[in-house]
């Protein structure tokens, strides 16, 4: 049997079947993206050191040289990736390979050479984790803010639009899977949109922390080299110059607590979206939505009539995979043995997969929603078949009257239970029951006109909370 192993053959679904949906994340969470950000951090550190005269007597960089250096990560491409891989094959150390590549690029600048004194400021005072933690923070920040959040926000806006459109469409509620007090489809979708929007606000407010303090977080090498420099202030200013929040107290690694917090919020968003998908699946099964738009697809290989809710099912599966990864990231990254172990290094290489499966779920859920048309007639039919749900407002009205001392209103719950429990009733039986209660005429008239379709309370108005 010939081997299928080939550079163009993907082992995982995200890099194979689903690559088009998650491709934007490659620029943020792939291995080349990590190396690009490592180069960016190393270059910005070199520029920071020379701009601020941190090392007394060291030379400076011209504005043209700074511009040329900053162009290196921006132009990082296939040839650079291959060259870096060749260097790493020799060093057997990924960050040291970055340092050596940058020294080559620096030596190639006009007027510079391999023995230029400034080359020793490349990676000066750094442990690998100084570079890595800042690189990951920049990567994750870019992936969330530039890719995931816009997609997630667009889906929530789509859901909000459906909620407003269907705000007044009556719906038979099902609590515990049983017919219950009517609501509207719009209000139920608004509940899910509200929940998702709240999680988005948490994710939008996420902190991205960074540290830059040496091998065990003590600035030991920094002080040994330049004892008079204000190293804590230098570290603070450099980290914040990258748009990150400075972490002043760490071991060799930045503690990753911010990552755990972010991944927990992402997972919670995913779980609410999963709830949306299962609800939509159920509504489709009940006939409350028709899958009619853009359905030139095959639903079943043998049953021509079928249109399956595959977008929601696909989203469910990918949300579950995403959450499994997000949960293990959040629980594992907060622990490091004493001052350092490498568990986090391997673990963080799965961030792209965790976010990728969530992004794929967003794509599928959005496409699923876009393919639906509400079927108000089906919702109305279920409501018309369940007049017994009006037992609740009748007994509630009787309770209010009993509390005011109106005679004949005793035991309202039990009387309605006897009328409705375990049996179907229609409008005629309900009106007959109301007429036999001896209610004040205004109350009786109000209850006689009540139908399952009109017993929706403030449901349409509640959708306004989305605004």
Burial of 464 (0-12, 13-18, 19+ CB in 10 A): exposed
Asked if residues 370 and 158 have their Cβ atoms less than 8 Å apart, the reply is yes
- What confidence score (pLDDT) does residue 243 get? 98
What is the rounded distance in angstroms from the CA atom of residue 425 to the CA atom of residue 387?
6
Catalytic residue among 241, 300, 331, 396: 300
Terminal CA-to-CA distance of the chain, rounded, Å?
A: 61
Distance, CA of 411 to CA of 69 (rounded, Å): 83
Q: Is there a catalytic annotation at residue 235?
A: no
What is the per-residue pLDDT for 307? 76
Are the beta carbons of 412 and 420 closer than 8 angstroms?
Answer: no
Domain boundaries, the chain: 26-124, 129-381, 387-451
Alpha helices in 334-411, H assignment, sequence order: 343-348, 351-370, 376-384, 391-403
Known active-site residue 300? yes
- The low-confidence residues of the chain, meaning pLDDT below 50, are 298, 301, 303-304
Q: How far, in Å, CA of 189 to CA of 187, rounded?
A: 5
Distance CA 307, CA 372 (A): 11
pLDDT at 301: 46
pLDDT given at position 5: 62
Domain formed by 387-451, architecture: Orthogonal Bundle (1.10)
Contact by Cβ (8 Å): 163, 191: no
CATH among 3.30.70.1560, 2.40.160.10, 1.20.200.10, 3.40.50.720 for 129-381: 1.20.200.10
- Phi, psi (5° rounding) for residue 284? -65, -40
Measured at the alpha carbon of residue 427, what is the angle toward residues 425 and 432, in degrees to the nearest 5?
A: 90
Write down the pLDDT at residue 412.
80
Write down the pTM of the prediction. Answer: 0.93
How long a stretch of residues is the chain?
Answer: 467
CA distance linking residue 334 with residue 462, whole number of Å: 40
CA-wise closest residue to 127 among 192, 59, 211: 211
Query: How does strand 170-175 pair with strand 178-184?
Result: antiparallel
At residue 303, the pLDDT reads 46
Answer yes or no: CATH 1.10.275.10 is held by domain 26-124: yes
């Amino acid at each position: 049997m010939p081997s299928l192993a080939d550079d163009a053959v993907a082992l995982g679904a995200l890099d194979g079947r689903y690559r088009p949906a998650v491709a934007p994340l490659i620029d943020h969470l792939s291995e080349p993206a990590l190396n690009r950000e490592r180069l960016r951090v190393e270059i910005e550190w070199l520029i920071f050191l020379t701009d601020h005269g941190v090392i007394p007597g060291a030379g400076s960089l011209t504005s043209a040289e700074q511009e040329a250096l900053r162009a290196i990560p921006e132009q990082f491409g296939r040839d650079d990736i291959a060259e870096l891989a060749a260097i790493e094959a020799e060093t057997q150390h990924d960050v040291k390979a970055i340092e050596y590549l940058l020294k080559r690029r620096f030596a190639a600048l006009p007027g510079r050479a391999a023995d230029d004194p400034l080359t020793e400021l490349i990676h000066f005072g750094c442990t690998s984790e100084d570079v890595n933690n800042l690189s990951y923070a920049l990567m994750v920040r870019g992936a969330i803010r530039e890719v995931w959040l816009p997609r997630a926000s667009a889906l929530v806006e789509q859901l909000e639009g459906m909620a407003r459109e269907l705000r007044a469409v009556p719906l038979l509620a099902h609590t515990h899977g049983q017919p219950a007090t009517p609501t509207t489809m719009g209000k139920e979708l608004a509940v899910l949109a509200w929940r998702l929007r709240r999680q988005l606000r948490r994710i939008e407010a996420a902190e991205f922390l960074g540290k830059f303090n040496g091998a065990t977080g003590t600035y030991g090498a920094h002080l040994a080299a330049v004892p008079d420099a204000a190293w804590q202030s230098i570290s603070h200013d450099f980290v914040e110059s990258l748009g990150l929040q400075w972490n002043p107290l760490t071991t060799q690694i930045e503690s990753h607590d911010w990552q755990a917090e972010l991944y927990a919020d992402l997972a919670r968003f995913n779980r609410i979206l999963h709830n949306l998908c299962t609800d939509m699946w159920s509504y489709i099964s009940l006939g409350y939505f028709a899958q009619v738009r853009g359905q030139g697809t095959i639903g079943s290989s043998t049953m021509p009539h079928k249109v399956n809710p595959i977008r929601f099912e696909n989203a469910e599966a990918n949300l579950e995979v995403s959450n499994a990864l997000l949960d293990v990231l959040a629980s594992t990254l907060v622990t490091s043995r004493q001052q350092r172990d490498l568990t986090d290094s391997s673990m963080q290489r799965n961030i792209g997969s965790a976010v990728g499966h969530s992004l794929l779920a967003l794509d599928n859920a959005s496409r699923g929603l876009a393919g639906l048309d509400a079927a108000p007639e089906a919702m109305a039919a279920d409501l018309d078949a369940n007049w017994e749900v009006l037992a609740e407002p009748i007994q509630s009205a009787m309770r209010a009257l009993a509390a005011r001392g109106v005679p004949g209103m005793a035991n309202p719950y039990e009387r309605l239970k006897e009328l409705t429990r375990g049996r179907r009733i229609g409008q005629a039986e309900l009106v007959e029951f109301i007429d036999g209660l001896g209610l004040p005429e205004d109350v009786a008239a109000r209850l006689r006109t009540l139908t399952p379709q009109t017993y929706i309370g403030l449901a349409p108005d509640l959708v306004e909370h989305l605004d």
